[in-house]
Amino acid sequence: MTEVPEHLLKRSRDRRAALGLGGGGETEAQPAATPAAGAEVEPTAGATAAAAPAAAAPAEVEVKPPEPPPPYVEAALQRKRIPYWAMPVVGLLPIWVILYAGSLSPADTGEATQLDLGAEIFTASCASCHGGGGGGGVGRQLSAGEVLKTFPNIADQIEFVAAGTQGLGSGTPYGDPAREGGQRTAGSLGNMPAFGETLSPDELLAVVRHERETLSGEEVPAEEVGENETRVWPNGSPMFEEGGTELLSPEGEPLLDPSTHLLMVEIAGGSPAPSGQ
Ligand code: HEC
């Protein structure tokens, strides 16, 4: 019998211990059980040789191939993983949702514009006589450029709506003297109510803008569009100042006389103010 070197024995013990066969414990116990072997001293060749096969024998019986993992575990191990790049994508989803939702509503979610206000007032106070789209009825047609033919200048239209037929005086010519079909005369169609008392100055401006821009398609030059899509004079000065109490002329003077609702000043570039003043 050849001597089995100690390091090989140790390797065998470790191996069995690793396989879970309890080899380590047994071998440790062996020298104690056989006093001849001697616990501390170097084991004799015989003792070692006897111990090795004795220890190896049960190992041969017990060694079984590791159980194959159950099919569901195997399936889990083999299935396709979510790729790593998907993680930042999933992480950014909420941000995308917020941006997408933001893009659905108009950019300025703040206050309604002057034109929004004008549309509201028109529906509430004017549509009954002039039609929802300004097509006319009891009142004159305001759509399809008609109101622009009467009032090339917005100031004259503001005056007309504020003063009404009676404020101008029945029989008084108003609007563009060169209007196609002849200049308008107050009372020629009927009685247009005065809105100088019932509408606030900003509402008056807003509804006039609605008639001109939305119903009649007026093209407003860029320099006449102010902050928050308000309308300003060609010189850039406001027609109505936020928080103000009256409409203003291009020079910053009150536009309308508070008692008559007629123009206080003649606006350059417009048709001559009605002679009813
Ligand atoms: C009760 C019916 C009635 C209501 C309400 C009414 N209008 Fe009139 N509107 C008229 C009549 C009638 C005329 C013609 C006036 C005339 O011949 O003197 C007129 C004329 C006008 C004109 C002149 C059009 C042109 O080409 O001559 C404008 C501008 C106008 N209305 C704006 C308005 C606005 C703005 C409102 C709402 C704030 C309004 N109207 C509400 C009956 C009405």
Express each pLDDT in 53-95 by its tens digit: 555 555 566 777 888 888 888 888 888 888 888 888 888 999 9
For residue 13, being part of any structural domain is answered with yes
Cβ of 140 closer than 6 Å to ligand 1, yes or no, is yes
User: Do the domain assignments include residue 51?
Assistant: yes
- What backbone phi and psi angles, to 5 degrees, belong to 248? -120, 150
What pLDDT is stored for residue 136 in this prediction?
A: 94
- Residue at 225 is within a domain: yes
For 194, the domain range is: 114-229
Cα of 52 vs centre of ligand 1, distance in Å, is: 118
Residue 101 maps to a domain: no
Same domain, 220 and 143: yes
The secondary element (H helix, E strand) that includes residue 184 is strand 184-185
Q: Is residue 186 part of a domain?
A: yes
- Give the chain's residues under pLDDT 70: 1-2, 22-61, 105-110, 268-277
Question: Measured from the CA of 165, which atom of ligand 1 is nearest?
Answer: 18
From residue 50, give the alpha-carbon distance in Å to each of 45, 54, 55. 8, 6, 9
> What is the CA(140)–ligand 1 centre distance, in A?
6
Indicate which residue's Cα is closest to atom 30 of ligand 1: 161
The number of distinct structural domains making up the chain is 2
Instruction: Pick from 121, 128, 130 the residue to mutate for probing ligand 1's pocket: most ligand atoms within 8 Å of its CB.
Output: 130
Residue 92 lies in a domain: no
* 161 found inside a domain: yes
- Count of other CB atoms within 10 angstroms of residue 267: 20
Nearest atom, ligand 1, residue 146 CA: 26
Does the residue 248 lie in any domain?
Answer: no
Residue 130 Cα to ligand 1 midpoint, Å, equals 7
Q: How far is CA 88 from CA 79, 85, 93, 96, in A?
A: 22, 6, 9, 12
pLDDT, residue 207, reads: 97
Q: Which atom of ligand 1 is nearest to the CA of 157?
A: 29
CA 178 to centroid of ligand 1, rounded, Å: 20
